[in-house]
Chain A
Amino acid sequence: MRNRRRTLLRILIVVEALALALAFGRTRAAPDLTVPIGEIFSEATSFAEEHGVFRAYDGDGRLLGWAASGSESGYGGPMLLVAGIDTLGRVAGVKLVEQRETPIFWRMARAPEYFKALVDTPYDEIDYDYGEVIGVTGATISSGAIVASIRESVAQVAGEAFDVNLPLPARPFEFGLLEIAILILLIAGVTAQKVTGPTRQRIRWASQVAGLIVIGFWKDSPITLAKLAALMSGFFPDPRNSLAIYLLIAGFVVTSIAWGRNIYCLYACPFGAAQRCVGLIAGKGLKLPPWSVRLMGHVRNLIVFAAIFMAFLTLQPALSSYEPFAALFSLHGSTLQWLLLFIVLVASLAIREPWCNFFCPMRSVEILLQDIRRVFRKPSQAKSHD
């Protein structure tokens, strides 16, 4: 009983501290759009807004052009841009107001280059083929969000200023190989719970290797703390093109609460699979003393708490991401992430799954979910199962 109370108290402290940080982050005022619009129309001295479209006037009251904002969910949350169109119907400029992307992917998206390439283009002849214009590969979520935001703002100006209806492209529900693979892996994980011994091990190996290839090297879409923090911050990506992340997180949360063991980490996580494969090279790993494992677990929990706290406080979920997944799966990462990847993979030769045990933020989240499960179960159930 005392243990349950202590666990409940721990959960409440963590949740309340995070809720406070999120509430503080959310209280920030909305950005003043006249600042970026003033940068686009440098001679503008006054602005008038109607139906979300701003008119920019110079000192003599002459109309310089129109501007509107557009927003779309990127990797770590919504991105806000402003596009300005001059009186001749050409793009006067595009300015970024806010974005929440991971720094490495934001750099890869090379947004300023795209914005520059659009200047002086007639509003109805804009080339939205981002990759074609500046030759960007990768960072598809960020570049997709940039394009969608510009489309939205240009369509608003076209409708209001030129009375032209620029239809936004229809967004089909994306249900491709990645989503199918995730469903199969999760089902394999659930099925494996019904069997024991070598069959379960065989299923685990097969699904982990499949996860390593599909979720890891092919799609580079494992669950990251940034994605989880974005969802918890209320930045929900469009399920029509982000169904995979919803499936993965649902699989993680539901199985953690229902069974106390999450299927994602055991059967689908590509990074866990990479460590197991590396560990296989060296054979039997070292057994660490339990106190060191406990200590490292506490350190990891503290790091994860601090990362989420900062993400909530600044409303920048991407800030919380310290995982070296992108360095391994798409060869993109900061020097620190490369170093962390090196340390983890080398340690995998000697220790069993060091990332999962000592660094993985999802392990801390899993422990929290298991605590919640323990607290809300009837004492008789807890006794018979735990």
Chain B
Amino acid sequence: MNDFPELENELRALRPARTSPVIFERIEEALAENCRAPVSGAGSMANWLRRFTETPFRFGIGLVAAAAAVVLLLARINTDQTRNEDKEIAQVAPASETRPVLPAFSGGSGVNGSMSSNKFVPAGATQVVYNTRNEGLQFADGSRQPLRRLRYQTQQTWQWRNPSTGASLRVSYPSEEVVLIPVSGQ
């Protein structure tokens, strides 16, 4: 029946590598953790959840997540395209940039009154100082302290965006600002 009794004995004499002592602690912890977990309805719910997240449900969840990501990506691309178109329109219509017309924020009146959803929200403001002129010292209103008069010439730009339609409005105009800075003698 058995042709290799000697070989079998030799094999039995060969001892497998011992388990590390850490594994006992790990198993104990895992079993204790299992005990702490509720056994009744909540336990079965946890089991159900665990089974649900295991294969093949995990595959389904992955598919749903991937589909959601694709939909979000497409929506994002669509919005970006709309924004780009708006930018192009703004660039080819310089008259609207120079005319200081405020957008209609929510009342439905003004230049954008025909729009279905006229809710523009501020999207940005810039002020570029392109010239500064020092106009010297002066005494204002009988003050004893001298003031330095500085004149700033700037270009201000305001921008609004309609989140629902993606439309944007930009107003840009030159401005001049005079600033009086007190000068203290030391």
Question: Are both chains from one complex?
Answer: no
Q: B: which residues have CB within 8 A of A? A: none
Give A residues with C-beta under 8 Å from B.
none
